[in-house]
Every structure is written in structure tokens, then in C-alpha cells.
């Protein structure tokens, strides 16, 4: 490799160009860089910001074993026939050793990745707390640049797992199975507020009718909490055979269109970008403060007095920030 090519590679120019061209290998590499918190990933993303597609982001959530992966597979295969480009991010916190992928999932991933218009990636929970949700946001960004029409994020639970799809998805699909009524009962408030579509999967099992009735009753009971314009859709499916998939796609589309018309989709998009901006500010601010503290041992200098109760952490924090801002102005010429 000559010097110029090497420089290009190092500052990420190649990856950015390849990504914009729709190169899936470039996407996979960039997502790995994001997972490894490689600083160069940021440079590449910076370069790609204006090249994002307006992808639909669909969160698929529900308990382990409910059939989320099988459903996403089926959805992807159907949407592929409609000439859509599909990205799939599977977050599986139950299996840190395999980086999130079960054996079955890995076989399936190999199969789906063979399709030119599908990109599938599993993400585990390795790394720092909060790292996974940052990585998922980064991966979504990469897939937007890659030009995906639909991006699925498969993850366990709502409001309890580290990746809360409700915060990042345009559409939230909750997957349940017959016999889960009581579980839903306990979590109902949160779920009904964020779910757009509830799937009763494994409709080949007993109790589907009861499950659907139960959900309908819950929705009626909690009507005041929910959107009147777009009532939650309930769809029964057998993910393993494909039964109910077209109906699920129709329900998802109806919700998306409704959100697009009402401006809710734009608002979600704005919120998503705002979160990203705020996260950048937090990160940069914190890094600078750490640098200040590293050079001045500012925190440790004040700690003794706080420990011995001659000072309190609340007032000291205010003083520390004042000093930090002063240092920032004088030492750094900001
Ligand atoms: N009988 C039946 N089995 C299903 C159905 N959907 C998925 N499965 C099976 O349920 C198991 C868990 O599915 P998976 O998609 O991995 O669930 P996930 O953990 O929610 O992603 C697998 O063995 C699937 O083949 C269904 O509709 N009916
Ligand atoms: Mg799964």
C-alpha cells in the first residue's frame, strides 16, 4: 500500500466513500469500529452525515423466545420482494459470549447476509454500560448511510433493557405469545403507551383468541392513555410459517403513514437527532473535565474536606465547575 492510500485508509476516506456507495463490508467494518469506540469512526460518520436516507426505524421487542428473530426474518423476506433494502440489528443481551448471536441466529444471519439487499448484524452487550445503546444508535446511522429503507432493531423488553427501542424507533412492534396475558397485565401501562402494533405470535398454539381478547380489553381499559388517531393494531402470526406477515406489514405501514401525516414521524426523527447531539455534548464536556482534573487533581484536592464533612459535595461541585470553566477559558483559549 502506498503512502497516499494508507493515509486515505487511516483517516477513513475509503470507508466513507464505500459506505455511501452501499458497500455492506464497509458498513460492517464501521459498526465494529463504533463498537470498539474507535475515534476514527466519528470522522467517517461526520463525513457521511448528509448522505443518510430517510430510513424507517422499526423496533421489534418482546420476551426471549417469543419469535422476534423469526418474525424479522419473515418481514425482511417479504419486504425484499417489494424491492426494499433492509437493515437488521439484533441486540441480544442474553448471550454475551457469542456477541449476542445464538447458533440458530448465526446460521440465519449467514443466510440473510447472502441477500444483496439485506444487512444483518448482531450486537452483544460487551463493553461499558450504556455502550450498547450508543453502539446501536451508531449502527442505525451507518445503515441510514448505507441506504436502507427499513431498519429493524430486535431487542428484549421495553423500558427495562439497556436499548429502549421506544426512544429510537418510528414504529414499535411488541411480540407476545398466547398465555402471556398476565405478564402483559403487569407491564401494561408502559407497553400500551409505546407499542404501535402488538403481535400475538405462535398462533398455532392454544389460547390465541383469548390472548387477542385480553389485549383488546386492556386497550379499552387504558383508552385514555393512547392515541385516538392510531389505535394499537393487534395481529396474530405464525412466524415460523409466514402466516399473518402481510397483515403485520399492513398494520406497520398504516401506523407509519399516520405518524408521517400527523408530523409525529418528523418529531421522532428530530428527537433522535437531538439525543445524539446532546450525547456528543455530554461526551465532549466530560472528556474536557477529565483532562482538567487529570492536570490539576482538582477533584482529589477537594475530596478530603468533603469526606471530613468540612465541605459538602453540592457546593464543591459548583466551585469545581467554576474553576473548570475558568481554566478552560484561560488555558485553552476557548
Ligand atoms: N410453533 C411456533 N414456533 C415458533 C413461531 N415463531 C417462532 N417459533 C420458534 O420459537 C423459537 C424462538 O424463536 P426466535 O425467533 O429465536 O425468538 P426470539 O428469541 O424472540 O428472537 C424458535 O425455535 C422458533 O422456530 C411460531 O409462530 N410458532
Ligand atoms: Mg432473537
Question: Tell me, what's the pLDDT at 215?
Answer: 86
Using DSSP, how many helices (H) and how many strands (E) does the chain show? 14, 7
Of the residues 239, 262, 285, the one at which a domain ends: 262
Between 332 and 256, the higher pLDDT residue: 256
Is the shortest distance between the CB of 68 and ligand 1 below 6 Å?
Answer: yes
Q: Is the pLDDT reported for residue 1 higher than 80?
A: no
The atom of ligand 1 lying closest to the CA of 72 is 15
Buried b (16+ CB within 10 A) or exposed e, 237-263: bbbeebebbeebbebbeebbebbeeee
Q: Which three cell numbers stand for residue 193?
A: 403507551
Q: Is residue 38 part of a domain?
A: no
Residue 239's pLDDT band (cuts 50, 70, 90): very high
Task: Tell me how far the alpha carbon of residue 46 lies from the centroid of ligand 2, in angstroms.
Answer: 32
- Give 163-186 pLDDT, tens digit per residue: 678 778 999 999 999 987 555 554
Q: Is residue 270 part of a domain?
A: no
Instruction: Give which of 322, 303, 323, 321 is closest to 313, Cα–Cα.
Output: 303
Is the shortest distance between the CB of 304 and ligand 1 below 6 Å?
Answer: no
Phi, psi of 138 (to 5 degrees): -65, -40
Question: Tell me, what's the pLDDT at 160?
Answer: 59
Task: Tell me how far the alpha carbon of residue 97 lies from the centroid of ligand 1, in angstroms.
Answer: 21
Residue 272's pLDDT band (cuts 50, 70, 90): confident
Q: How many domains does the chain have?
A: 2
Task: Tell me how far the alpha carbon of residue 69 lies from the centroid of ligand 2, in angstroms.
Answer: 4
Q: Which three cell numbers stand for residue 254?
A: 398504516
pTM (two decimals): 0.85
Q: Is residue 116 part of a domain?
A: yes
Question: Tell me, what's the pLDDT at 228?
Answer: 66
- Helix (H), strand (E) at residue 240: none
Q: Are residues 283 and 248 in the same domain?
A: no
Is the shortest distance between the CB of 95 and ligand 1 below 6 Å?
Answer: no
Kindly state the average pLDDT of the residues 53-66.
91
Q: Which 8-state DSSP code applies to residue 82?
A: T
Nearest CA to ligand 1 atom 14: 67
Question: Tell me, what's the pLDDT at 10?
Answer: 46
Is the shortest distance between the CB of 239 and ligand 1 below 6 Å?
Answer: yes
Q: Are residues 142 and 208 in the same domain?
A: yes
Of the residues 200, 234, 262, the one at which a domain ends: 262
Q: Is residue 4 part of a domain?
A: no
Q: Which 8-state DSSP code applies to residue 293?
A: H
**Can you give the CATH number for the domain in which 226 is found?**
3.40.50.300
Neighbours of ion ligand 2 (CB under 5 A): 68-69
Kindly state the average pLDDT of the residues 259-264.
91
Q: Are residues 74 and 135 in the same domain?
A: yes
Q: Which 8-state DSSP code applies to residue 206?
A: T
Is the shortest distance between the CB of 155 and ligand 1 below 6 Å?
Answer: no
Mean of all residue pLDDT scores within the chain: 85
C-alpha to C-alpha distance for 185 and 116, rounded to whole angstroms: 42
Range of the domain at 252: 52-262
Q: Are residues 204 and 306 in the same domain?
A: no
Amino acid at each position: 500500500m502506498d503512502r497516499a492510500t494508507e493515509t486515505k485508509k487511516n483517516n477513513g476516506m475509503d470507508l466513507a466513500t464505500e459506505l455511501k456507495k452501499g458497500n455492506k463490508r464497509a458498513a460492517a467494518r464501521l459498526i465494529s469500529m463504533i463498537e470498539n469506540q474507535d475515534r476514527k469512526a466519528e470522522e467517517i460518520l461526520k463525513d457521511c452525515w448528509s448522505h443518510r436516507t430517510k430510513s424507517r426505524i422499526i423496533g421489534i421487542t418482546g420476551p426471549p423466545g417469543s419469535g422476534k428473530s423469526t418474525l424479522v426474518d419473515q418481514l425482511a423476506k417479504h419486504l425484499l420482494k417489494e424491492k426494499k433494502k433492509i437493515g437488521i440489528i439484533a441486540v441480544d443481551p442474553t448471550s454475551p459470549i457469542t456477541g449476542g448471536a445464538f447458533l440458530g441466529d448465526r446460521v440465519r444471519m449467514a443466510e440473510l447476509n447472502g441477500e444483496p439487499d439485506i444487512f444483518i448484524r448482531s450486537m452483544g452487550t460487551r463493553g461499558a454500560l450504556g455502550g450498547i445503546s450508543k453502539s446501536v444508535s451508531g449502527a442505525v446511522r451507518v445503515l441510514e448511510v448505507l441506504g436502507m429503507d427499513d431498519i429493524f432493531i430486535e431487542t428484549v423488553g421495553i423500558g427495562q433493557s439497556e436499548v429502549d427501542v421506544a426512544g429510537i424507533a418510528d414504529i414499535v412492534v411488541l411480540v407476545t405469545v398466547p398465555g402471556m396475558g398476565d405478564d402483559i397485565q403487569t407491564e401494561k401501562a408502559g407497553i400500551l403507551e409505546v407499542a404501535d402494533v402488538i403481535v400475538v405470535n405462535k398462533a398455532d398454539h392454544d389460547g390465541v383468541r383469548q390472548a387477542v381478547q385480553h389485549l383488546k380489553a386492556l386497550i379499552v381499559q387504558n383508552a385514555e392513555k393512547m392515541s385516538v388517531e392510531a389505535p394499537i393494531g393487534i395481529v396474530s402470526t405464525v412466524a415460523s410459517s409466514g402466516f399473518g406477515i402481510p397483515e403485520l406489514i399492513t398494520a406497520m405501514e398504516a401506523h407509519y403513514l399516520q405518524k408521517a401525516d400527523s408530523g409525529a414521524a418528523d418529531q421522532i426523527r428530530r428527537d433522535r437527532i437531538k439525543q445524539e447531539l446532546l450525547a456528543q455534548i455530554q461526551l465532549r464536556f466530560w472528556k474536557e473535565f477529565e483532562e482538567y482534573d487529570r492536570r490539576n487533581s482538582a477533584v482529589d484536592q477537594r475530596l478530603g474536606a468533603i469526606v471530613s464533612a468540612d465541605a459538602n459535595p453540592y457546593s464543591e461541585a459548583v466551585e469545581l465547575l467554576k474553576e473548570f470553566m475558568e481554566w478552560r477559558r484561560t488555558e485553552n483559549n476557548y
